[in-house]
Amino acid sequence: MTDFDDDLSNDFDSAPVRLTVDLAALVDNWHDMARRSGKARTAAVVKADAYGMGIEDAGEALFLAGARDFFVATVDEGVTLRLYAPEARIFVLAGIWPGTERRFFENDLVPVISSEEQLAFWMAVLADYGDYPCALHVDTGFNRLGLHIDEALALVEDVSRPASFAPVLVMSHLACGDDPASPMNRQQLESFRKVSRAYEGIESSLVASAGIFLGDDYHFDLTRPGISIYGGEAVNGMVNPMRPVATAEARVIQVRTVSAGESVSYGRALRLTRDSRLAIVSAGYADGYMRSQSSGGVPLRQAVPQGGQGFFEGYKVPVAGRITMDLTIFDVTDLPENLIRAGDYIELFGKNILVDDAARAAGTIGYEMLTSMGLRHERKYVAEDE
């Protein structure tokens, strides 16, 4: 008779696709960004299920490490996080909408007000419920979300606003923080300084991961690192100082020998020029391993010839042909014979294939790679290097 607990313990070891999350690296990265933030306090951005890492485990680890300010995208994320960060201040970037008020109040969540429509609704909520904190998002040139600067400045002088309207934070977001040479950064800084001065006595926050590297002028009272704490690159052209956090792997289903001249995968996108050994693994674009990493037969390869790579036992192995929904083929011809077998795991990205390198092969960024991982990854959380 099979022991049920043993079955559960073996889920990770036998999973078709699996993700190892190094919580020690996550915490180290957050502390690193806190040091780089100087005198500013450092929040943690855990939206999109903590960038694919799992908001429950990542949020709790960051809270235990000392994070007391968190940013999520939606009220649902905030409700979940509250269970794991009981004393934290949790800001909801999507703001508040009719019908969500009770969930904000019951879970002690802080709405980020980003438009005149949200502001009007929030004023009405305060009239019914009384004092409650909020944050104001001011657009300083990004043209995504936020009150116009003139609207934000006028609000300071608006004598008709309820006395219970008391923002605890004013914030904005850089459009070009990943490009330190962009003049847009300085323009937005000067615009935000006007807002910060107008809201004297209220904390200010301008920068996320990339902006932290721009220096003390940009830090204000609170910084908001996201991608950097998950190990991703934040600044273009700079060696990434962050530790990798996520390692994604896929199980080898079959190793097959194919003759020179034969083709591989859909559309015959790859024609083999030598006798080859191919490892077929159980991950595809349904698992976030993007089709655009295919070695051929996709438009990106016309501009960037090389597709994605995996890693096994000290060897990088290229993707062979098109990536499909549930399967990817790797060329393992250059590995010693019999080194790789069915049941082994190939690293898709992690400590050996950095997530941003995998993303570049797909024509995208590490943010998308991390947040695109599907629900089929069996997760394992480690608190130290194993």
Give me Rg for the CA atoms of the chain: 24
316 tagged catalytic: no
Cα distances (angstroms) measured from residue 27 to each of 21, 65, 128, 202, 382 = 11, 6, 41, 28, 12
Token pair, residue 328, equals 């990817």
Closest CA to 232 of 241, 224, 223: 241
Which of these is catalytic: 47, 51, 132, 199? 47
Residue 285 CB contacts under 8 Å (≥ 6 apart), including other chains: 291, 323, 324, 325
Token pair, residue 376, equals 């089929």
Distance CA 157, CA 75 (A): 30
Which of these is catalytic: 84, 132, 218, 266? 266
Helix, strand, or coil here: 18? strand
Distance CA 313, CA 302 (A): 30
Burial class (CB in 10 A: 0-12, 13-18, 19+), 294: buried
Distance CA 345, CA 248 (A): 10
Residue 190 CB contacts under 8 Å (≥ 6 apart), including other chains: none
Q: Which helix (H) or strand (E) holds 148?
A: strand 147-148
Distance CA 79, CA 81 (A): 6
What does the buried/exposed string (b/e) look like for 55-80 if buried means 16 or more CB atoms within 10 Å of the residue's CB? bbbbbbbbbebebebbbbbebebbbb
Q: Which residue shows structure tokens 């570049």?
A: 360
266 tagged catalytic: yes
Burial class (CB in 10 A: 0-12, 13-18, 19+), 130: exposed
Distance CA 325, CA 142 (A): 36
Catalytic residue positions, numbered: 47, 266
